[in-house]
Structures are given as C-alpha cells and as structure tokens.
Amino acid sequence: MSDLSSAARPLTVDSDDHAIFRQSVRQFAEQAVAPHVMEMDQAQTMRPELIQGAFDLGIMGIEIPIEYGGAGADISTAVVAIEEIAAVDPSLSVCVDVQNTLVNNAVLRWANDEQKKRYLPRLCSDMLASYCLSETGSGSDAFALATKAVEEGDHYRLNGNKMWITNGAEAGFYLLFATVDPDAGYRGITAFMIERNFPGFSVGKKEDKLGIRASSTVALHLEDCIVPKENVLGEVGKGYKIAIETLNEGRIGIGAQMIGLGRGALDHARRYVLERKQFGKAIADFQGIQFQFAEAATKLEAARLLVYNAARLKDAGLPFLTEAAMAKLYSSQAAEQIASRCIELHGGVGFTKEFPAEKFYRDAKIGSIYEGTSNMQMQTIAKNLLRE
C-alpha cells in the first residue's frame, strides 16, 4: 500500500519539540489509516499492515530506550501519538496506547536485564502486546481474580480465564496476572510474561462491541499453561504493585485517546457546519450553532490541559496519581459529550453511517469504562484529596 509506505518512516523523537513528531504521526493517520476506518469498523477487524505501520513509524516503543530499539522519549510524546491516531481512528489508538503506557511501561520498570534484552526489541518492532488483568468476576475489584499459578520445578502451571482483553486477537505477548496463593488475597498476585505459542494458552471468543470495533477484545484461556520461571515479571506476589502503578500511567493514555477522539469529532463537525447551508447561508453563521461549537471546543481544551498536565508531572518524576485520575475522568466525559453534540450539529445525517459522527459517538462510550471506571476515578481523587 503506497500511502502506508510513504507515511510510515521511523521517527527520531525529540521530546523538546513535539511539533514535527505530531505532524509525522498525523500524516500517517490521515494518509494510511483514514481510508480504512469505516471498513475496519464494519468488519470488526484491524488491518495488520496498519499495526505494522505503527511499528515502522516508531510509535510502539516511545518510552523504550534507544539501545533496545525504542525512541527513548517520554509519556508526553506517547500522548501526542495516541491523540493524533485517535483523531482518525480510536481503535488503532488503543493498540498504540496499551503497547506504550501499559505493557512497555511495566516491562521497562520491572523486568530484569535478560528479560529486557529478550522482549523490548520485539515490543518496539513487531510484537503487539496485551495487558491481561480482568476476569468475569474481577473488574473494578481487580484483585478478586481467580486465575491460578502453581509452582512446578522450573515453571508455573496456570489455569483460568481472562476476559475483555484488548489486542488479544493479534498480540504475540501477554502481560498476564494470576495468583500463586488465593488465600493471600492481593499479596498472591504475580505478573507473568506469556508468549502466544506457550503450551496450554489459547485465544477465545471475540466480543461484538458497540464501539472501537476494529480493536479486538477477547477472552483468553489457560489450561495447564506452562510458563517458565524466568517469565515472572518482578517478584512473585508483587503483581498487585505492578498492576496498580502501571494503570496509573495507563489512565493518561486513555485520556489522550479521548481528547483525540473529541478533536476528530469536532473537526468533522466544523467542516460540516461551514459547508451546510440553510436559509441561504452556512449554518455556522447561526449563533445557536456557534454557541454549541464554542462550548464543545472549550470542553476539549480543558480535557487536553488535564491530560498533558498529568503527563508533564509523570515525566518530571512528581506525584501524578490524582491528576491522572482527573484527566481520565474528565476527558472521557468530555469526549462523550462532544461526540454527542457533533451528531446534533450534523442533523439527520449525523445519525447515519455515511458520516463519521456516529462512529466517534460509539467509540467514546468505552472511555468511562475501561482501565478504571469513572466511579473508580472519582474514588481515587476523593481519597487522595481527603487524606489527612
């Protein structure tokens, strides 16, 4: 595909100048991704060449050091990439988000040198990853998980099922959480790095979703899955710490997805109201339309400031937990409201699949659910602010 090859050139990221980086990612999104968005949504399938195009562009290993093949940049740079992709296709953006803010982040922080040498170059170049925490009975209560790992000589034997796993259908690497001791509660949770071809590991049902339909969401099955001990990430029994601290950064990534989505919806609405004529003039000339557009744009800018501020704090090594929760909470609310308003600005055609407004609206809904519901974000914010 010529558009893809011309747009996907490896990037050297200068974290002090995001403008060139942003333009390169935007070019990739508009030239290589945009022509296939509606087709992928209808087919509920991500085109493999677009995932590889993201690898080739250098946006799947943004925080990974250069010596491992990454860009050696920071989360603020990752936010730029996620936002730009989401403005065109939120489905592909969540692939970029999970890879960078969850899986790469965890491996960078917790893997030993041998594990980093084994996996980081692949995570930068061609191995899509999944983050596997949720189960049927373990959602917001993340550590109620039942997947069990039993130590046997030089390996662990895992049995259980994971649910609602993003990237699961295409991934080759799964960061999966299981308990080595159910009676120990959260202190038994351990993180395992699982490859797709490990014995006893299989990908199950693919969910038929409301939005981000091109992004796969699947069940995973572990039936006497053999995982070598050298594939334990961090310490046995410390998986809860890895999960919590990784998800803190992940909230910023979802915030970036939501502001990109909101911007994409608003861009389409802007073009429409400038072109659509009623009563002899563009509907953008009517004050009622102007006020609705202004309100949506203001919400988007407020959400963007929250997201980039949380990323700035994280990059500076400062506390960012409350700010990350605020960013995810508000950006997901704003994106849903903006996408809804943009359907109304399109009028009747906004309710049809001929225009992208309805897709942005469907895609926005997940923002208040995954990687911590809005209620969980409010609980985090309140606990931190009311702490004595």
Q: Which residues are catalytic?
A: 371
Q: How far is CA 344 from the centre of its chain?
A: 27
Nearest to 322 by CA among 241, 381, 253, 371: 381
Q: Which residue has the tokens 């039942």?
A: 146
The 3-class SS string of 277-290 reads: EECCEEHHHCHHHH
Through-space distance between the first and last CA atoms of the chain, rounded to whole angstroms? 58
- What's the token pair of residue 108? 């960078």
Q: Which residues of 34-59 are buried (b: 16+ CB within 10 A; e: fewer)?
A: bebbeebbeebbbbeebbbbbbbbbb
Write phi, then psi, for 126 (nearest 5 degrees): -160, 0
102 in helix, strand or coil? helix
- Residue 278: Cβ within 10 Å count: 11
Cβ atoms of 69 and 61 within 8 Å: the answer is yes
CA distance 158 to 175: 13
CA distance 128 to 221: 18
Q: How far is CA 102 from the centre of its chain?
A: 8
Cβ atoms of 20 and 83 within 8 Å: the answer is no
- The H helix count followed by the E strand count for the chain is 13, 10
